[in-house]
Amino acid sequence: MYKIGELAAACKVKPDTLRFYEKNGLLNPANRSDKGYRIYSDDDAQQLRFILRAKAMGFSLSDIRELLNIEASRSDWACADVKGMVEAKALELQTKIDEMTRLRDSLQELADACCGGPESAIHCSILDTLETK
Amino acid sequence: MYKIGELAAACKVKPDTLRFYEKNGLLNPANRSDKGYRIYSDDDAQQLRFILRAKAMGFSLSDIRELLNIEASRSDWACADVKGMVEAKALELQTKIDEMTRLRDSLQELADACCGGPESAIHCSILDTLETK
DNA sequence: TTTGACCTTTGACCTAACTCCAAGGTTTAT
DNA sequence: ATAAACCTTGGAGTTAGGTCAAAGGTCAAA
Rounded, the Å distance between the CA of B25 and C1' of D6 is: 25
State whether the Cα torsion B96-B97-B99-B104 is positive or negative. Answer: positive
Q: Is the pLDDT of residue A119 over 90?
A: no
Chain B contacts in chain A segment 31-60 (CB below 8 A): 46, 50, 53-54, 57-58
In Å, what is the separation between the CA of A3 and the C1' of D30?
24
Question: Residue A85: its pLDDT value, please?
Answer: 92
- pLDDT, chain B, mean: 94
B72 Cβ under 8 Å from any chain A Cβ: no
- Nearest 5°: the CA angle A78, A84, A90 is 150
Compute CA distances B68 → A108, A114, A119, B16, B27, whole Å: 20, 18, 19, 21, 10
What is the tens place of the pLDDT at every residue in A17-60?
Answer: 999 999 999 999 999 999 999 999 999 999 999 999 999 999 99
Taking alpha carbons only, the member of A127, A131, A99, A132 closest to residue A113 is A127
Do residues B41 and B34 make contact, with C-beta atoms less than 8 angstroms apart? no
The full set of domains in chain B, from first to last, is 1-58 (1.10.1660.10), 78-133 (1.10.1660.10)
Residue A103 CA: distances (Å) to CA of A92, B33, B46, B98: 17, 39, 22, 14
Nucleotide nearest residue A6, measured CA to C1': C6
The residue-averaged pLDDT of A11-19 equals 97
Determine the pLDDT at residue B116. Answer: 85
Distance in angstroms (rounded) separating the CA atoms of residues B11 and B8: 5
* A127 closest CA partner among B46, B8, B28, B23: B46
Inter-chain CB pairs, A–B, below 8 Å: 173
d(CA B39, nearest CA chain A) in Å: 21
Q: Give pLDDT tens digits for A62-85.
A: 999 999 999 999 999 999 999 999
Across A110-114, average pLDDT: 93
Whether A117 has a pLDDT exceeding 80, the answer reads yes
Q: Cα–Cα distance between A18 and A43 in angstroms, integer?
A: 15
Question: 3-class DSSP state for residue A115?
Answer: coil
B99-110 per-position pLDDT tens digit: 999 999 999 999
Scanning residues 13 through 52 of protein chain A, those with a beta carbon under 7 Å from any atom of strand C turn out to be 15-16, 19, 36-38
Type of residue at A58 = G
The residue in chain B having the minimum alpha-carbon distance to the alpha carbon of residue A44 is B131
% pLDDT > 70, chain B: 99
Give the count of beta carbons closer than 10 Å to the beta carbon of residue B124.
27
A61: confidence class by pLDDT, cuts 50, 70, 90: very high
Interval A5-10 mean pLDDT: 97
Q: What pLDDT, on a 0 to 100 scale, did the predictor assign at position A116?
A: 85
B82-112: b or e for each residue (b if 16 or more CB lie within 10 Å)?
bbebbbebbeebeeebeebeebbebbbebbe
- Amino acid identity at B3: K
B74, B79, B89 ranked by CB distance to A107: nearest? B89
pLDDT digits (tens, 9 = 90+) for B15-53: 999 999 999 999 999 999 999 999 999 999 999 999 999
Which backbone phi and psi does A103 adopt, to 5 degrees?
A: -60, -45
CA distance A39 to chain B (A): 21
Is the pLDDT assigned to residue B132 strictly greater than 90?
no
Position A63 scores a pLDDT of 94
A82 touches chain B (CB under 8 A): yes
pLDDT at A91 exceeding the cut of 80: yes
- Identify which has the larger pLDDT, A89 or B119: A89
Residue-level pLDDT at A118: 87
B58 to A103: CB separation less than 8 angstroms, yes or no: yes
Q: DSSP readout, B52-71?
A: HHHHHTT--HHHHHHHHHHH
CA dihedral B117, B120, A68, A59 (to 10 degrees): 0
